[in-house]
Amino acid sequence: MSKIILTPDEFDLLKELVNVAMGLSASELAELFDNFVKLKVPSINIESSEDLPEVIINSSIFPEDEEVISIREKFSNGVIAEGEGIIILNQSTKKSIIPILGLSEEDIESEMIMDFLLELSSQLIGSCLSNLFKQFNPETTLFGSPKMLSTKDTLRQCAFSTISEGKGSYEDMLCAKIEFIIDDVNFECDLFILFDSKSLPNLKEELQVILKESY
């Protein structure tokens, strides 16, 4: 059970702040692909770390037996929160970046594509979190280097093995789930933002400040 509970108003506000951050990131992605990015309402929940694999499997855009690529990047905004962003994408999404790099389908396994995926994931995680935290305070958010977690595991394997390796630092966590979809180029990806349990009191406090100002 979570020790820190967010009220419905706090959840509602946090979802809205994530929604705004997601919109700004989508705009950058849309420019890169020169295409419209379809957005859905983000989901926000407090989860036990033990449930993380099932949360990922159940809320991912991909079926559990699909081969996925997953990338993790840690972040820290000293004032509010620490945690990590996890990007999950599939082989079609990987193929969708071939034209951007001016490569052919034969180059699908090239290092250049994997490097680009790391860079793209880092940009999405960085942009989304920076835009989220900017709405709370002007402190800079620091990011670690993006790390490729898996390249050919199924989503289920990925959720239970690789991703859950990092769960040691999370007792309970706040999990925000965002989807970016570009229909015309078959680009689909999940972004999971995990805030560690120590971040929850700070986050709650910051949300209360904004809520008070709105009355």
CB of 154 to other proteins, least distance (A): 29
Nearest distance from C-beta of residue 176 to other proteins, angstroms: 14
Q: Please, what's the b/e burial string for 169-203 (b: 16 or more CB within 10 A of its CB; e: otherwise)?
A: ebebbbbbbbbbbbeebebbbbbbbbbbbebbebb
Instruction: Decide whether 13 or 69 has the Cβ nearer to other proteins.
Output: 13
- Number of residues this chain uses to bind other proteins (CB under 8 A): 24
Residues 121-160 that bind other proteins (CB under 8 A): 135
Closer Cβ to other proteins, 27 or 137, answer by number = 27
Q: Which of residues 8-37 bind other proteins (CB under 8 A)?
A: 9, 12-13, 15-16, 19-24, 26-27, 30, 35-37
Contact between 211 and other proteins per CB under 8 A: yes
What is the SS3 assignment for the chain? CCCCCCCHHHHHHHHHHHHHHHHHHHHHHHHHHCCCCEECCCEEEEEEHHHHHHHHHHHCCCCCCCEEEEEEEEEEECCCEEEEEEEEEEHHHHHHCHHHHCCCHHHCCCHHHHHHHHHHHHHHHHHHHHHHHHCCCCCCCEECCCEEEEEEEEHHHHHHHHHHHHHHHCCEEEEEEEEEEEHHHCEEEEEEEEECCCHHHHHHHHHHHHHHHCC
Q: How far is the CB of 36 from other proteins (least distance, A)?
A: 4
Binding of residue 214 to other proteins (CB under 8 A): yes
Using CB under 8 A, pick the residue from 4, 32, 39, 103 that binds other proteins. 39
For the bound state, the minimum distance from the C-beta of residue 26 to other proteins, rounded and expressed in Å, comes to 6
Q: Please tell me whether residue 69 binds other proteins under the rule CB under 8 A.
A: no
Q: Which is nearer to other proteins, 22 or 189 (CB)?
A: 22
CB of 40 to other proteins, least distance (A): 7
| 170 vs 16: CA distance, rounded Å | 24
Q: Which of residues 155-184 bind other proteins (CB under 8 A)?
A: none
Binding site for other proteins (CB under 8 A): 9, 12-13, 15-16, 19-24, 26-27, 30, 35-37, 39-41, 135, 211, 214-215
